[in-house]
Structure 1
Amino acid sequence: MPRIAYFGPQGTFTEQAARSLAGADELVPVETISSALTSVRRGEADAACVPVENSVEGPVSATLDGLAEESPLVAVAEALLPVHFTVLTRDDVETVRTVASHPHALAQVRWWLEHNLPEARAVVSSSTAAAAVAVQRGEYDAAVTAPVAVEHYPLRVLATEVADVPDARTRFLLLRPPGVLPEPTGSDRTSIVAAAANRTGALAELLAELATRGINLTRLDARPIKGNFGLYRFFIDFEGHVAEPRIGAALAALRRRCNNVRFLGSHPRADGVQATIEPGAANDDFGNADAWVDAVRKGELA
């Protein structure tokens, strides 16, 4: 049975995402995002499920850095989960003085905590589930957790459906070693990380390669390159699949312009949004243009 490592422990949103992506595969919780990626690189797991971005708090830096470094991994699927929290306490807690959770979770319930537990001090933990474990041990009074945590930890539910932003969502990736990619569906996302030259207009030139081919950008993040102060990598998501001529042409152009480009995957989008195709930028348009150039080279034009 395939093994899927996920950012644990049990009872996190990542476990919920892994359940939706892995089917009947064996789910293996690990302590950190880095550990999940490493387990795949070492062959200890067949795939890893990790968060990549949140609609409120933005990108998950540990995932981005982990994908840019060491041996390549590629995304083959994604899940998009609504982020509504459950607040758990022990039965013997009468007054909540401390509330523990992951920093992203605390940031997304800040207003709720201020209005419902104004005396409580927020405490950072490595994950929402780790916060629940700490409450069980008596270290803190309450934990802000994923709803699935109630299946794993015998704690009292203080509140459910907690979220300062009702439509907050987190996107998760299923990552595997490079291999056969999912087939294009017309509703796909391609991801890369590129290290551009440190000069005026370098980023604009990269984005122009997408724009001139009618490719719609869906995400752009910058992360510093460790050990090179002032130099950055750009994580770029855009509509389309590497099997399409227009996407292949854009990737080739980016590879020519950049110091380094790493392909991070092409896979179906979880939201099912169809790619935006500008006039003249359809795959047939690129195919017909290439055929015309071939005819010119062969002297076959009438």
Structure 2
Amino acid sequence: MGVFRTAYFGPQGTFTEQATRILVDTDDAAELVPMDTVPQALDAVRAGAVQRACVPVENSVEGAVPATLDGLADGQPLVALAEAVLPVRFSVLTRPGCTKPRTVASHPHALAQVREWLATELPEAELIAASSTAAAAVAVRDGQYDAAVTAPVAAEHYPLSLFAENVADVADARTRFLLVSQPGELPAPTGADRTSLAAVAADRVGSLAELLNELMLRGINLTRIESRPTKGRLGEYRFFLDIAGHIAEQRVGDAFAALRRRCADVRFLGSYPRADRLPADVPETASDADFDAAAEWLAAVRRGELA
């Protein structure tokens, strides 16, 4: 059997690497492959160069990750198999011997999440945007900057000194990551699942309300909604939705069929176990047994067996 390869948004030392190590069994038969960008990680799966990819999808402070949403909506379909949610607490790493950093680099999302700490502890430092927290660590290693705001795992990869740890302006900040693959057999329902989809609502009055109403009528809880331009026409948007439930459940499948009828485009992005393991709250009359009973009754009516 060959080596099982998983790409992730790198380079080494990012929160995405930490999430990948949670989601993937990193034994001798597994290889983690850092990629410079989220689109590169996703395209590596599409090309068959790796079997899976781990990418960030949303942060509780900064919101959705546009590169991931756009990357999943365009190109050959990919589906999520699992999710991980990590607390976001940063380390500040410096060049050895540097006691008063004058330049601090990191990804813009990371800088935004430690802005108050930086203003207090390093008020005179110049803040510099990097393509990732790990890229900032590489730049510090190479002598371009004095310090980097990084994921804690970066200290394992780069010969830098720990200036500060457990740094965060928002104590409960979290980032959610998805493990995606090419379409295939889906994870089995657990009763505590999430389903992700992207839908382009028709260009007419009330179309978004109609979309959401299809979920409400079937007792489906919407846990997240984001919008992104389709890039095809000004004013046309794609809505990214996360719902509580699994596509194998009849209420969820029935909702998908309704959305397919109403929307200009619908893309299934996966059904997978929730990281928090919270079971879906299924209202009375919305269980699979209720759908089965209603279908049997309708079949009997159509056969003329009921008055």
So what's the TM-score if we normalise by structure 2? 0.97
How far apart are the structure 1 equivalents of 2:305 and 2:174?
54
User: Counterparts in 2 of 1:107-256, with a 5 A limit?
Assistant: 107-256=112-261
Cα distance in 1 for residues equivalent to 2:167 and 2:199: 37
Counterpart mapping for 1:61-76 below 5 A = 61-76=66-81
Aligned to 2:40: 35
Residue 83 of structure 2: SS of its match in structure 1? Answer: strand
User: Which letter does structure 1 place at the counterpart of 2:269?
Assistant: L
What secondary structure, in the 3-state scheme, does the structure 1 residue paired with 2:136 have?
Answer: helix
Q: Unmatched 5+ residue regions in structure 2?
A: none
Alignment partner for residue 274 of structure 2, among 269, 274, 284?
269
1:234 positional shift? 0.2
Report the Cα distance in structure 2 between the residues aligned to 1:201 and 1:122, rounded to whole angstroms.
44
1:11 alignment partner in structure 2: 13
2:8 aligned partner, one-letter code: Y
CA distance in 2, matches of 1:209, 1:227: 26
Gaps of 5+ in 1: none
Cα deviation digits, residues 160-179 of structure 1 (max 9, x gap): 00001111110000000000
- Residue identity matched to 1:222: S
Q: 1:185-206 deviations in whole A, cap 9, x for unaligned?
A: 0000001000111221010000
**Which digits, 9 at most, give the CA deviation of each residue in 1:237-288, with x for residues without a partner?**
1000000000000000000000000000000000111101122222211121
Q: Which amino acid aligns with 1:249?
A: D
Identity of aligned residues (%): 65
Residue type at the aligned position of 1:125: A
Give secondary structure in 2 for the equivalent of 1:291: helix
- Report the Cα offset of residue 83 of structure 1: 0.5
Aligned counterparts of 2:60 and 2:260: Cα–Cα separation in 1: 29
- Distance in 2 between residues matched to 1:122 and 1:295, nearest whole Å: 70
Distance in 2 of aligned mates of 1:159 and 1:283 = 52
Residue 90 of structure 1 is matched in structure 2 by 95
CA separation in 1, counterparts of 2:65 and 2:257? Answer: 27
Separation in structure 2 between the aligned mates of residue 234 and residue 141 of structure 1, nearest angstrom: 41
Q: Which residue of 2 aligns with 1:53?
A: 58
1:4-55 deviation per Cα after TM superposition (whole angstroms, max 9, x unaligned): 0000000000000000111132110010000000100001000000000001
Matched letter for residue 139 of structure 1: Q
Deviation readout 1:196-217 (Å, 9 max, x if unpaired): 1122101000000000000000
Letter in 2 for 1:8: G
Quick one: which amino acid aligns to residue 223 of structure 1?
A: R
Deviation at 1:301, TM superposition (A): 2.7
Shift of residue 225, structure 1, vs aligned partner: 1.1
Q: Tell me the TM-score normalized by structure 1.
A: 0.98
Count of residue pairs the alignment pairs up: 302
Give, as a single letter, the amino acid of the residue that structure 1 aligns with 2:277: G
Determine the C-alpha separation between the residues in 2 that align with 1:145 and 1:287.
52
Instruction: Using the TM superposition, give the Cα deviation of residue 294 of structure 1 relative to its aligned residue in structure 2, in angstroms.
Output: 1.2
Residue 4 of structure 2 is matched in structure 1 by: 2
